[in-house]
Structure 1
Amino acid sequence: MPIHKLSVVTVCYNPGPILVEAIRSVQAQDFADVEHVIIDGGSTDGTPDRVAPLLRAGDVFVSEPDKGIYDAMNKGIARAGGDAIALLNADDRYADPGVLSRVAARFDSSGADAVLGDVSFFRPGAPDVSIRRYNSGMFRPSRIRWGWMPAHPAMVLTREAYDRVGPYSTEYRIAADFDFIVRAFLKHGLSYSYLRDVFVKMQVGGVSTAGGSARQTINREMLRACRENGVPSNAAMINSRYLMKVLELIRR
């Protein structure tokens, strides 16, 4: 479908000054019509005052308590007015000003429900030094039961696709994005087109990239998402995805 307007949804809670970098990377995009929807969970670190002078006409900023990151994502998606919707974390940024133009062009040429790209990981303070590249080109729906999913921050869906799949489940602490992937590509059979390109530079240290306790939680939740959606899997299959992460480190 033709993409005339793109929405970028960013959710945050006490993100600090780094949110400004995410906002600037959205505003630097050369696509003609991009709205930025920022859903803040009622930050107490000065975020509303920091964001206010940066907002453009058509942008949305909401600051109020929410029930967590996935509830905030749902709020942002519901408010988004674009033909396609991207999610950008508060401490991430777009790789270059042409990302969203290339995404829109791929939607136009492919007619897909989703456009997938890659993510480059960086350490705090060094956004231009990649320590790992998440290659969404390895994704296939048949591999979901093995714990494989496209890079979530580099997954852009049409408005209609989000309406079909439904909201992110707030029953998961970390893996609601994986549950969404299960529903999107297995239950609803969304079509997708992969663009071999880094869409997003992602800072390590988020909830899903934390230590061993977080890994145990996400593994349990990923297996739960498979089982609740009728996808056969087991703990060994889910854990096998870590081999791919090692290969990403080698290949970067």
Structure 2
Amino acid sequence: MKVSIITATYNSESTIADTIDSLEEQTYQNIEYIIIDGASKDSTLNVIESNSTRVSTLISESDKGIYDALNKGIEAATGDIVGFLHSDDLLAYPEAISDLVETLKKGDSEAVYADLEYVSKEDTTKVVRKWTSGQYEQQKLRSGWMPPHPTFFMKRDLYLKYGLFNLDYKIAADYDSILRYLWVNNVTASYLPKVVTKMRVGGASNRSLANIMEKTKEDIQALKDNQLFWPSALFIKNVSKIPQFFKR
């Protein structure tokens, strides 16, 4: 199986080398690595060119934000499976992609996901929070459950069939897409009980109080748009994050 991995960058010079290094270390060979850059004004492109031997496609042009860039990546992809590696994230170990592919094959499923660690922005060996996903049950989505999107890999033809990221969402397009794929369209998913992605803290959704409020507003809209009862789902979704700070 060919795996297309998409990274969206914009002025990412301080973190992109680590991201690329984690991709370079992957033992899985059939990887198509696509980087979509939003016309960075810093040295991001120079860092990419100096550190990567596995980039298949590099596009640098202005866009409408990260979800627009990821959509461009999906459209450019030629792999059987598509996943995302954000420009300040890391693949946790060299066999991460191999394990994801093997789990998808064994489960005879259409998507696969795993666990995620939030790590310190300055020291990626320091775990701030661990997101343990658990086995997939579609009904969990009623209670606000979702897999960590950076660990979610799905067959490319399903992205084209069920739609790409909805650009009406500025922060929660990933949540909307997960609900659309798993809840509305019954995509089958398998769970790999390993941490495959490390995410630096300080992402767009929790960068400020205003962003948290906007994220909550968009989460509600995503639940409504995908025919899920939002008051209970949103409450449980937020409360369920609390134990993650103690699972390190």
Name the TM tier (shorter chain).
over 0.9
Residue from 161, 174, 177 that aligns with 2:174: 177
Given that 1:174 and 1:208 are in contact with CA atoms closer than 8 Å, whether structure 2 keeps it comes out as yes
2:211 corresponds in structure 1 to 214
Provide the C-alpha distance between the structure 2 equivalents of 1:183 and 1:226, rounded to a whole number of angstroms: 10
Provide the C-alpha distance between the structure 2 equivalents of 1:214 and 1:138, rounded to a whole number of angstroms: 30
TM-score by length of 2: 0.94
Deviations 1:24-59 (A, max 9, x none): 111110002112100000000021222123343661
1:137 corresponds in structure 2 to 134
Deviations 1:73-125 (A, max 9, x none): 00011111211111011001000000001111112211111111011111112
Provide the C-alpha distance between the structure 2 equivalents of 1:203 and 1:58, rounded to a whole number of angstroms: 22
2:105 corresponds in structure 1 to 108
**Matching of residue 190 in structure 1 with residue 193 in structure 2:** no
1:250 corresponds in structure 2 to 246
Unaligned runs of 5+ in 2: none
Provide the C-alpha distance between the structure 2 equivalents of 1:32 and 1:139, rounded to a whole number of angstroms: 28
2:75 corresponds in structure 1 to 78
Q: Which amino acid aligns with 1:134?
A: W
1:52 corresponds in structure 2 to 49
Q: Which amino acid aligns with 1:191?
A: T
Provide the C-alpha distance between the structure 2 equivalents of 1:103 and 1:57, rounded to a whole number of angstroms: 19
Deviations 1:140-161 (A, max 9, x none): 4323243321100011111122
SS of match in other structure, 1:157: strand
Evaluate the alpha carbon distance shift between residue 174 and residue 224 of structure 1 in structure 2; reply closer, same or farther with a 3 A threshold. Answer: same
Given that 2:112 and 2:154 are in contact with CA atoms closer than 8 Å, whether structure 1 keeps it comes out as yes
1:239 corresponds in structure 2 to 235
2:88 corresponds in structure 1 to 91
Provide the C-alpha distance between the structure 2 equivalents of 1:109 and 1:143, rounded to a whole number of angstroms: 22
Given that 1:147 and 1:222 are in contact with CA atoms closer than 8 Å, whether structure 2 keeps it comes out as no
Provide the C-alpha distance between the structure 1 equivalents of 2:230 and 2:219, rounded to a whole number of angstroms: 10
Provide the C-alpha distance between the structure 1 equivalents of 2:208 and 2:136, rounded to a whole number of angstroms: 24
Provide the C-alpha distance between the structure 2 equivalents of 1:102 and 1:209, rounded to a whole number of angstroms: 30
SS of match in other structure, 1:50: helix
Q: Which amino acid aligns with 1:192?
A: A
| Root mean square deviation of aligned Cα | 1.6
TM-score by length of 1: 0.93
**Matching of residue 28 in structure 1 with residue 37 in structure 2:** no
Q: Which amino acid aligns with 1:244?
A: S
Unaligned runs of 5+ in 1: none
Provide the C-alpha distance between the structure 2 equivalents of 1:43 and 1:107, rounded to a whole number of angstroms: 35
User: Between the two proteins, what is the percent identity of the paired residues?
Assistant: 31
Q: Which amino acid aligns with 1:31?
A: Y
1:202 corresponds in structure 2 to 199
Once the two structures are TM-superposed, the CA of residue 138 in structure 1 deviates from its matched residue by: 6.1
Once the two structures are TM-superposed, the CA of residue 17 in structure 1 deviates from its matched residue by: 2.8
Residue from 159, 163, 172 that aligns with 1:162: 159
Provide the C-alpha distance between the structure 2 equivalents of 1:22 and 1:65, rounded to a whole number of angstroms: 21
Provide the C-alpha distance between the structure 2 equivalents of 1:57 and 1:103, rounded to a whole number of angstroms: 19
Provide the C-alpha distance between the structure 2 equivalents of 1:243 and 1:98, rounded to a whole number of angstroms: 32
Given that 2:109 and 2:188 are in contact with CA atoms closer than 8 Å, whether structure 1 keeps it comes out as yes
Q: Which amino acid aligns with 2:102?
A: A
Given that 2:35 and 2:73 are in contact with CA atoms closer than 8 Å, whether structure 1 keeps it comes out as yes
